[in-house]
Amino acid sequence: MSFFEVFDPAFQSFVMGNAPVKEISSGYDWVEGPVWFGGMNCLLFSDIPNNRILRWIPGVGTSIFRAPSNFANGHTRDWQGRLVSCEHGTRRVTRTEHDGTITVIADSYEGKRLNSPNDVIVASDGAIWFSDPHYGIMTDYEGQKAEQELPCHVYRVDPSGDIRAVLTDFNCPNGLVFSPDEKRLYVADTGRMFTDDPQHIRAFDVGADWRLSGGDVFHSINPGCADGMRVDTDGNLWSSARDGVHCIAPDGHLMGKILVPQTVSNLCFGGRGKHQLFITATTSVYAISLNRKGI
Ligand code: MG
């Protein structure tokens, strides 16, 4: 069987015919937020409905990293290597310090509680950017059902701790990622997740003082929606979709797909040399080796 679909001949060189999509961990309800820790040779990921973060070590297996996890969703690492997490249950973004203590990065805006932070990235200046859709407070499945106090925005917390809503015209912002040069910010809108409409990724130009402009639709994902996304060192965008991971060129055209048997929620590069792609998809985590290198 083929693990790929090629739409642009250049994609053929990104993948290898003898590198399978392999299930590396399974038995969860809805996995999300993969993040690679090279120094510890392990992958962390969230099993949101089961309120836990798991740790997978190659050749060893999977164990519980943190439970309860406050229904953690997306994760990333900052420039000091610390874990930065979105938590639905506590409606906040946190950082786990090297000694294990938890620092709250953001839990409110203008006196109102955040909804349920979903995905997070750290820019080169140390600022933390995150999306805040309402999925984690809609039901008790991925958090706790609660009243929504704020619209669904994207926020930036600068290194001083000052928080600003930087994108306020989204239905439900979700995955977000900078281009390698940080001149562009991609943000997925999954506001129509429960319909059959195509879902899109918007691209913003990043100017002086991190000011955003533009924001046109960069690419529409079909089938499914773009939830989590990552970029490789050449600026190709790797996006989650219902049928797998879609690779989208910097000009917006679909280059190819990695086919995954379950709906993909998120992905990250990792492993030796960051040539592996780890994919969280519904009840399982998958991995594939690529002839690409991730950021
Ligand atoms: Mg997400």
Which protein residues have a CB closer than 5 Å to ligand 1 (ion)?
A: 118-119, 174, 227
User: Per the domain annotation, does 69 fall within a domain?
Assistant: yes
Confidence of residue 2 (pLDDT cuts 50, 70, 90): confident
Tokens linked to 62 = 């999977």
Distance 50 CA to ligand 1 centre (A): 16
Instruction: Report the sign of the C-alpha dihedral through residues 42, 39, 19, 226, in that order.
Output: positive
Distance 136 CA to ligand 1 centre (A): 11
CATH for 51: 2.120.10.30
User: Per the domain annotation, does 5 fall within a domain?
Assistant: no
How many folded domains does the chain comprise?
A: 1
285 sits in the region (left: phi over 0; alpha: psi -120 to 50; else beta) called beta
User: Per the domain annotation, does 29 fall within a domain?
Assistant: no
Distance 91 CA to ligand 1 centre (A): 14
Distance 228 CA to ligand 1 centre (A): 5
Query: pTM for the complete prediction?
Result: 0.96
Phi, psi of 48 (to 5 degrees): -60, -55
User: Per the domain annotation, does 77 fall within a domain?
Assistant: yes
* Adjacent-strand bridge partners of 95: 84, 103
pLDDT, one tens digit per residue, over 217-274 is 999 998 988 999 999 999 999 999 999 999 999 999 999 999 999 999 999 999 989 9
User: Per the domain annotation, does 294 fall within a domain?
Assistant: no
Distance 188 CA to ligand 1 centre (A): 9
User: Per the domain annotation, does 3 fall within a domain?
Assistant: no
pLDDT, one tens digit per residue, over 149-208 is 999 999 999 999 999 999 999 999 999 999 999 999 999 999 866 665 558 999 999 999
Distance 238 CA to ligand 1 centre (A): 14
Distance 118 CA to ligand 1 centre (A): 5
- What one-character-per-residue DSSP string does 236-294 give? -EEEEETTEEEEE-TTS-EEEEEE-SS-EEEEEEESGGG-EEEEEETTEEEEEE-SS-B
Q: Distance between CA atoms of 224 and 200, rounded to whole angstroms? A: 10
User: Per the domain annotation, does 142 fall within a domain?
Assistant: yes
User: Per the domain annotation, does 81 fall within a domain?
Assistant: yes
Distance 209 CA to ligand 1 centre (A): 26
Q: Which domain holds residue 241?
A: 34-246
